[in-house]
Structures are given as structure tokens and as C-alpha cells.
Amino acid sequence: MVFKAEKRHRTNPFKPTAGRTPPLLVGRQPVLDDFQEGLDDGPGAPGRLMCVTGARGVGKTVILTEFHKMAEAQGWSVVAESASPGLTKRLMSRVEPQHEGIGISFKPELKVPLVGTLQFGELKAAGDDMMPLTLRDALSRRLDVEESHDGGLLVTIDEAQAASRDDMIAIATAMQFLTTQERNYAFVFAGLPSLSSKWLNDDATTFLRRAQPEKLGDVPWDEVQESFRKTFADTGITLKDEDLSKAAKATEGYPFMIQLVGYNIWRTVRRRGVAEDHILASAQDVETGIAAALVRLGDTVHGPEMDGLSPIDRTYLLAMAQDDGPSSTSAIAQRMGRDTNYANIYRMRLLDAQVIKEAGHGYVDFAIPYLREYLREHAAYYRLNTSSQTEHDA
């Protein structure tokens, strides 16, 4: 028993890893409740067709993972995919019930308008022009199997904003058919906020407008503070109220930062008192943990985000970083040495990428916590890099 207790104390409960389910889904219970209600209410329930959106790092993939567990707990099967070329064909392959002697083959050169034909012992799928029908049939056959033992099928698509239009049309057409047939299925899409404007306003995918929207935002500080209190206490660590408040505010309600701050404070405390069953964290422990979390945030979020942007995108952000709060779009253009119309092109790009956000008429602010501070610390590097890339492109 002593060994188990010490092992529990020495295992960090925070998991600052992309897609890894944290020990406590802070602030996400309403979304989980909506999905569970959809499972309980049967075919046609709003929670069975859901669109989860949010900025990077708010926990969209974590929510999908939790949905998988909830569905499996009710005896359902789960098919999880991420949007990339060949999405529909991968879905067909994964949902199609496999039978001995029959396989599925997808060949691009096949364009005959047939649902399927037997040839050389294989079930040949139709070409891309018949994809909506073949996906519908594959899902229907899988549901025949699942429903025969009172089960169901959950399909989740992560990073759905990156899906091709043909894939989304195929999926929307199949879902609409399954809904009219009252089949026991659920579909959940997750992606950046641009997902809504990209697919829900497309005339070819109008069925997706029925998807229940779930927007994941920042978690209130009081909920973060209470989750810290409970999680630390469960592993034998106590934080004073003022230190709990400081730790919670340092996260800015950003789910990934919640895990980073918690992880690094816990590690700092346990390194100092690893052999103790119970230990009181000091103010210095909290400061050290927060500082380490900020460094890690820069390495894992800010750096990769900046690397994926164009030189002019970076110039726009560097112009914003000169302000302590929201930036005037006209002031940004002036700092860039460009007119407002030119600067607005990059403003829209950065808004779509969820790097910045609207902050009132004519103003924008950073959407990712601490990006302003990161840019100030690395301004010389990015100015040099941006300048050299711009000259090279020219």
C-alpha cells in the first residue's frame, strides 16, 4: 500500500501533450452533456450531429477522444479520422464490414457509374463521381451489423476545415440519407472556426447546417483555480489561495496552458520534496513553474505557429506586438509602410488562421495567449528572417 501511495504522488497528473486527455476536462462539461444527451435520445437527436470549433490548443481533439469513450461505453463502435486527401475512401474502407474472400479496392481509373461490381474476388468501388452513393451504402451495411446487437456507430472527423469539397459533399449526402432512415449513428466534426464559414454556407453541403454548434473558448479562471486545487490536493500538494489564483490567471484560460502550468508547478514542487507524502508549494515554486510553462508554450505553440506563416504575416504581427493591448488596423498598416487595403489582406488571413481576433471596430488582438510577449522577445530574429525571405522572394 505504501508503494502505491508513493507512486501516485510521484506521477504528474497534468498532461501537456497535444490530443492527450487531461485528468480533468475543465470547463467542458456542457459540451460532454450535449453529446451524452444525443446518445441517450436516439436517432435524430441534435447532439448526434455536432460541429466542434475553436482555436488551436483549446482541446478539440481531447473532446473527440472523450466522445469516443462515451460512445464505446454504450456499446458503440467508433471510426476516427482526420481530414486529408482520400478521406472518403478511408472512411469507406474502415466502415465496410469485412467478409472472407471479399476485399475492397479503390482504383482511380475506375469511372463507371456502378455502385460496385465483382471482379477477381474483389468488391470494386465506384469512381469519385459515385462517391456519395458508395459511402452511404458502406455506412448502411456497417450499421446493419452494429444495430443487430443494439449498437451504433460514431464517426469523428478532426481538422475538418482541411477536407476537400468532394469529401464533404460525399459525407453530407451519406449523413442525410442515414438520418432519413433513422439509423443509429452520430457524426462529429472538429476544426478551426473557419470550418463553419467554409462548409456550412456551401450550397452542396447544406445538410451540415443542422449540425449542433459547439464553440470551445477559454475556460473561466475560477474553474481553472478550482481544478488546480483539487488536482494538486489529490497528489499530496497544497497551494495557498494567492498562489492558486496566480497560477490560474497565468493560464489565461487557455486549455493547453492549463496543462503546462499545472505540469511544471507539480514537477517543481515534487523535485523539492519528492519523498514527502504531503507538501506545501511555495510562491517560488509557482513562479518557477509558470516561467517554465511559458518557455514550453513558446517552443510548442508560438514557434511552430510563426514558422507556418508568410513573411508579410509575420510583419503584420510584429507591428501588432508594439501595442500593449488591441491594435488599430490603420496603425498596423502605417507601421508596415502599406495602405490599409493591403494590410487588410493579411489581417483576414490571420483572422482565418485564428492567430488574431477582432477586438472592436477597427481593432484586432492576439488570439493566442502570450504571443505578443513571445514576438517582443524574438523580434530581432523575426525581423531579420522576414527581411531576408522577402528579398529572396523578390
Residues 337 and 378 in one domain: yes
Residues 153 and 271 in one domain: no
Residue 127 located in a structural domain: no
Which pLDDT belongs to residue 59? 85
Domain with residue 383: its CATH number is 1.10.10.10
Query: Which grid coordinates belong to 2?
Result: 505504501
Residues 98 and 144 sit within 8 Å (Cβ to Cβ): no
Please identify, among 287, 304, 321, the residue that sits at the C-terminal boundary of a domain.
304
Residue 6 located in a structural domain: no
Residues 49 and 176 in one domain: yes
Which pLDDT belongs to residue 108? 37
Residue 371 located in a structural domain: yes
Residues 190 and 58 in one domain: yes
Residues 356 and 244 in one domain: no
Per the structure, the count of domains in the chain is 3
Please name which of 175, 184, 95 lies closest in space to residue 141, comparing C-alpha atoms: 95
Please identify, among 186, 215, 244, the residue that sits at the C-terminal boundary of a domain.
215
Residues 335 and 380 in one domain: yes
Q: In 4-137, at which residue ranges do the beta strands (DSSP E only) sit?
A: 49-53, 77-82, 103-105, 116-119, 122-125
Residues 295 and 184 in one domain: no
Range of the domain at 385: 309-391
How far apart are the C-alpha atoms of 103 and 274, rounded to whole Å?
55
Q: What is the CA radius of gyration of the chain?
A: 25
List per-block mean pLDDT (blocks of 10 residues) for the chain, which spans 394 residues: 46 77 72 96 93 85 94 96 92 75 39 36 45 81 95 95 89 91 95 74 74 89 92 93 96 92 95 80 96 94 89 95 96 96 95 88 94 90 58 42
> Can you give the pTM of this predicted structure?
0.75
Please identify, among 182, 215, 248, the residue that sits at the C-terminal boundary of a domain.
215
